[in-house]
Structure 1
Amino acid sequence: MYLARIDSGMAASSDVLVLRKGTHGIPIEQYADAIRDRLPDRTVELARTPAAEREAIRDAHFVTGMTLEDDLLDAAESLDVFACAYAGTGHLPLDRLEERGVAVTNASGVHGPNIGEHVLGSILSFARRFHVGARRQRRREWRHYKAHELQGSTVTIVGLGAIGRSVAERLEPFGVETIGVRYSPEKGGPTDEVIGFEGEAFDDALARTDYLVLACPLTETTQGLIDRDAFVTIDPDTVLVNVARGPVVDTDALVEALRSNWIRGAALDVTDPEPLPEDHPLWTFENVQITPHNAGHTPQYYERLADIVAENARRFDGEGRDAELRNQVLP
């Protein structure tokens, strides 16, 4: 396999190495094939064994994969770009990558449509109380029950990245008021109102929210954001939808809120701890919908990711280390 550097401003062919770990149960071969389709004039190599990875990465300049372990990074003598196949990069050895001047990109934007649909489905399920209907169907019980109406509700979306924006776009036809929460509210967003995390504005939003959607990264600001005080502030008719990370919500406070009827229900795609232990009380609530960190699954994952990675490979091919890459998070 030939992987050329960019020397003296001269452009050379830039190949792509795909590491062997896949995601969502989709064969990693599909990812390599999707990149090949977009880069027909380049060599795209898939390393299918640990030994093949260690050998191929020695001379690789442009590598993509889900993870990059320390021992593999030790072997990557020529690495210039690591295209992470996840949106989050906290699991990577970022300090070491930064020390070596390796550019790191992520898969931000890949999950927008599917997680947006997951959130919308969760909201509609609670609005029409499908969980109650399903329970009565299992009992073969023909008995009417009260439902809610989404129109006229207020939906607060915490985090206005690709996923938050996708949620807001999908809510547009439903006649709801939307509040967006982001670090820089002055930048605006696709919601009717945009606020920050600090001060009375956030508490006021909680107090008038019918559906609280968490779609933010896990940071010092967002860890434990929805705690006991937040659950006391939230209207008792509110439904919590978490597609962010489990620790954004204080789990003990959530259990207390559910037991005390401080909220109407919760749709949890992420939990803390995760996986959720079999004996955890969250499994026992009839008004809690739990999915196993599954909102990110989509058959289009590798196709969308390949669009980003192939474009960056072309940019790197033309400009080398000086290239401006899509979704670049480091340096």
Structure 2
Amino acid sequence: MADIVVRRDNIHGMAVDRYATALRDRLPNHDVEVARTPAAERDLVADATVLTGSSVSEDLLDAADSLRLFASTYAGYDHLPLDELAAHDVALTTASGVHAPNVAEHVVGAWLSFARGFFTARRRQADHVWQSFKSNDFAGSRVCVLGMGAIGSAIVDRLDGFDVETVAVRHSPEKDTPTDEVYGYDDVHEAVEDARYVALACPLTAETRGLVDDDLLTTMHPETVLVNVARGPVVDTDALVDALQRNHVGAAALDVTDPEPLPSDHRLWDFENVLVTPHNAGHTPSYFDRLADIVAENVRRAEETGAWDGLQNQISL
């Protein structure tokens, strides 16, 4: 029987077999199997030490007598049965950081595209119109990143060499932060006040839900390019639409929306200065390889220490 079981969760159109292959390459002394049906899943999990996938049910946990680790393939974990995992003494790890390089590229690419007028150029190209247009410099700008987890940190890392002033907003502003300035969420207005480029990369919490509201959008400069790769409800959608209509914000690149998926008749689709992508910033062909690196390292760590604790991306239960 397999000691590592991979649930049948294809991600971003990539077959989960790639994930199993990546785990086998990194853990050649372990038996890695893909559970391709619900029946096979219950059968395989009975003797498994590690189960990995996007979710796990209480019933499956009840059937997993030897399970020591559930390695989630998602960065978020609020959808998981945390109490049941704790009751079964099953450790939990996440895929935090797997998306960071490509999401950071998405953010910087959106900022540069709006700064240099690529969307204007594309529309005129479609109409076969040769006409000059104004564009802006990204260099010399004040750039603000809300949230300094793996994604926020990766965004700031990629700003090296662009000659911009960097500002961070984080829950614990006293922590060492690789930006020119850092603020807490209580001082978010001061952080965005003169920023021309703002990225939302924070988790959705009671503190951040509706954070970007009419009040904060009014504080932002009317040329600000706002990018949301956090969660849709971090932004008050009606307030954003109103700000766009009144030219109180320069542009928005939304990889997440509220509601999501964005209805086909929603007003956000029709603004020329809005880029909507279908929660796609997280896509990367390296997803399974990066995830397998985390899981394999945690398996090796547990083998060395004899304990399923102190693991990379482990969530305290």
Task: Judge same fold: TM > 0.5, yes or no.
Answer: yes
Matched, 1:217 2:203: yes
Deviations 1:233-286 (A, max 9, x none): 111110110001101101111111111111001000000111111011110111
Matched, 1:305 2:291: yes
- Within a 5 Å distance, the mapping from 1:231-250 to structure 2 comes to 231-250=217-236
- Match for residue 36 of structure 1? 24
Secondary structure class of the residue paired with 1:171 = coil
Write the distance in 1 (CA, Å) between the matches of 2:64 and 2:30: 20
Counterpart of 1:75, as a letter, is: A
Work out the percentage of aligned pairs sharing the same amino acid: 56
C-alpha contact (below 8 Å) 1:188/1:194 kept by paired residues: no
In the alignment, which of 169, 180, 188 is matched to residue 157 of structure 2? Answer: 169
Q: How many residues align?
A: 317
Write the distance in 2 (CA, Å) between the matches of 1:76 and 1:225: 41
C-alpha contact (below 8 Å) 2:170/2:183 kept by paired residues: yes
Secondary structure class of the residue paired with 1:123 = helix
- Within a 5 Å distance, the mapping from 1:11-160 to structure 2 comes to 15-160=3-148
C-alpha contact (below 8 Å) 2:100/2:151 kept by paired residues: yes
**Greater relative CO (CA pairs within 8 A, separation 6+):** 1
Write the distance in 1 (CA, Å) between the matches of 2:307 and 2:60: 21
In the alignment, which of 235, 243, 255 is matched to residue 257 of structure 1? Answer: 243
C-alpha contact (below 8 Å) 1:224/1:248 kept by paired residues: yes
- Match for residue 206 of structure 1? 192
Secondary structure class of the residue paired with 2:177 = coil
Write the distance in 2 (CA, Å) between the matches of 1:131 and 1:69: 45
C-alpha contact (below 8 Å) 1:66/1:86 kept by paired residues: yes
Write the distance in 1 (CA, Å) between the matches of 2:68 and 2:20: 19
Write the distance in 1 (CA, Å) between the matches of 2:49 and 2:28: 18
Write the distance in 1 (CA, Å) between the matches of 2:301 and 2:312: 9
- Match for residue 257 of structure 2? 271
- Match for residue 281 of structure 2? 295
- How far residue 321 of structure 1 moved from its aligned partner, in angstroms, is 3.8
Counterpart of 2:229, as a letter, is: V
Write the distance in 2 (CA, Å) between the matches of 1:85 and 1:130: 34
**Superposition RMSD in Å:** 1.2
Secondary structure class of the residue paired with 2:295 = helix
Write the distance in 2 (CA, Å) between the matches of 1:207 and 1:176: 16
- How far residue 117 of structure 1 moved from its aligned partner, in angstroms, is 0.6
- How far residue 116 of structure 1 moved from its aligned partner, in angstroms, is 0.9
Change (3 A) 1:100 1:60: same
C-alpha contact (below 8 Å) 2:169/2:182 kept by paired residues: yes
- Match for residue 185 of structure 1? 173
Structure 1 segments, 4+ long, off by >4 Å, are none
Deviations 1:153-172 (A, max 9, x none): 01100011111111111111
Matched, 1:196 2:187: no
Counterpart of 1:202, as a letter, is: V
Secondary structure class of the residue paired with 1:174 = coil
C-alpha contact (below 8 Å) 2:68/2:308 kept by paired residues: no
TM-score, normalised by the number of residues in structure 2: 0.97
- How far residue 140 of structure 1 moved from its aligned partner, in angstroms, is 0.7
Change (3 A) 1:294 1:99: same
Write the distance in 2 (CA, Å) between the matches of 1:96 and 1:257: 44
Deviations 1:202-258 (A, max 9, x none): 211121111110011111111111011111111111011000110110111111111
C-alpha contact (below 8 Å) 1:22/1:66 kept by paired residues: no
C-alpha contact (below 8 Å) 1:185/1:194 kept by paired residues: yes
TM-score, normalised by the number of residues in structure 1: 0.93
